[in-house]
Amino acid sequence: MINLLELTLSELQNLFVEKGIQKFRAKQIMNWIYQKNCYDFSKMSNLSKDFRVSLRKDYSIRLPELRDKQVSALDGTRKYLWVLDDSELIESVLLIHPKRVTACISTQVGCKLDCAFCATGKGGFTRNLKVSEIIGQILSMEKDFGEKITNVVFMGMGEPMLNYNSVKKSIEMINSKDMLNISKRRIAVSTAGIIPGIENMAEDFPEVVLSISLHAPDNSVREKLMPVNNLFSFPELIQAIKAYNEKTSKRVTIEYILIKDVNDSRNDARTLAKNLKQLKVNINLIPINPVEGDFERPSEKHISDFKEILEKNGFETVLRHEKGTDISGACGQLRGKK
Ligand code: SAH
């Protein structure tokens, strides 16, 4: 049994051609799924009854099942907890804005990287998500919310670059005119700094927005916060961003969590500015969202001083307003538990 959410249009067309089924049927079915949000063969009224019955023998359309949903009283952000076929749990977040609806999706059950400040890594790593589970999060949220999703960010649980093949195919399906039809400029992928992944993005998807979770002004601070720095060090990462800039002529977004007394001093800001000097970047500052552990948010004064130093050094810097903190739906707060 093949879950149709695993397949691109051309893959389904090829399967149909092999079986002697007319090729245009594949497009009709994708249209039911992706344009009409219909996941039931028996309702696909432009297909003959016999064909619908035969489809059910070989194919399914399976979405992750909703286990729990929380809606933020602060900003309407929705956090979803899904159960997968093997009973594993993952979360996704829907961010609602007057002009856009953004799906923040997961790529793995858990995460291997174990960043000190992030809740997802605390439970360890279980497995990669399948393409159908990545695409299924988007379709399920669209179904629940009842409006078209306009933007997709790979910023939920897991490290997208360690599940690159599925992420790549998912991006193609999200972008495809016959599927979710979301422009590449409205898709963003975030990485904790897996350099081969950054190289792949430059090669495969130069139009997709790339975010780097840097979170430290230099190698010694990053080493303490992010074990991945032992694999791909701070200086190597800076070189990889430079190569990305050169290859794509595009900026990357640097994500920088501000943590009190860890990476938030004026000196840290100056060091960061110095180390990013050669690069084309925008900087997002994110005062740390509460998770278990000792990390605290800096004072407003520290935050604005930090921002000011970066701006004086010519960096476009945005202070990100956290969303959905009351439902633990903000960056780094997804655990995949009820
Ligand atoms: N593994 C990828 C994708 C996850 S995106 C990556 O690291 O980029 C989730 C974002 O939330 C990352 O930028 C992550 O560093 C950030 N984050 C993790 N814990 C956080 C916290 N407690 N407060 C704010 N942001 C956090």
pLDDT of 117 reads: 94
How far does residue 289's CA lie from ligand 1's centre (Å)? 10
pLDDT of 325 reads: 80
Which atom of ligand 1 approaches the CA of 111 most closely? 1
* Two tokens, residue 278: 């050669």
Whose CA is closest to 171, among 136, 143, 208, 132? 208
Which residues touch 192 (CB under 8 Å, ≥6 apart)? 113, 115, 159, 213, 226, 228
The reply to whether ligand 1 has any atom less than 6 angstroms from the CB of 118 is yes
Active-site amino acid positions: 91, 331
pLDDT of 323 reads: 81
* Two tokens, residue 263: 């990476």
Using the structure block, give the residue that is written with the tokens 């070189």.
Answer: 239
The reply to whether ligand 1 has any atom less than 6 angstroms from the CB of 214 is no
How far does residue 39's CA lie from ligand 1's centre (Å)? 33
Q: Quote the CA–CA distance of 144 and 79 in Å, as a whole number.
A: 11
Query: Which of the listed residues 167, 232, 255 should we mutate to test ligand 1's pocket, taking the one with most ligand atoms within 8 A of CB?
Result: 255
The reply to whether ligand 1 has any atom less than 6 angstroms from the CB of 163 is no
pLDDT averaged over consecutive 10-residue blocks of the chain (338 residues)?
97 97 97 96 96 96 96 94 96 96 98 94 94 98 96 98 98 97 98 98 98 98 98 98 98 97 98 97 94 88 97 97 80 79
The reply to whether ligand 1 has any atom less than 6 angstroms from the CB of 159 is yes
The reply to whether ligand 1 has any atom less than 6 angstroms from the CB of 120 is no
pLDDT of 292 reads: 78
How far does residue 114's CA lie from ligand 1's centre (Å)? 11
Q: Quote the CA–CA distance of 234 and 231 in Å, as a whole number.
A: 10
The reply to whether ligand 1 has any atom less than 6 angstroms from the CB of 237 is no
Residue 226: C-alpha distances to residues 112, 198, 239, 265 (Å)? 11, 17, 18, 19
pLDDT of 336 reads: 79
Cβ atoms of 251 and 280 within 8 Å: the answer is yes
* Two tokens, residue 45: 């009224």
How far does residue 255's CA lie from ligand 1's centre (Å)? 8
The reply to whether ligand 1 has any atom less than 6 angstroms from the CB of 255 is yes
How far does residue 299's CA lie from ligand 1's centre (Å)? 20
How far does residue 198's CA lie from ligand 1's centre (Å)? 17
The reply to whether ligand 1 has any atom less than 6 angstroms from the CB of 291 is yes
Query: Which of the listed residues 118, 134, 285 should we mutate to test ligand 1's pocket, taking the one with most ligand atoms within 8 A of CB?
Result: 118
pLDDT of 200 reads: 98
Residue 67 φ then ψ, to 5°: -100, -35
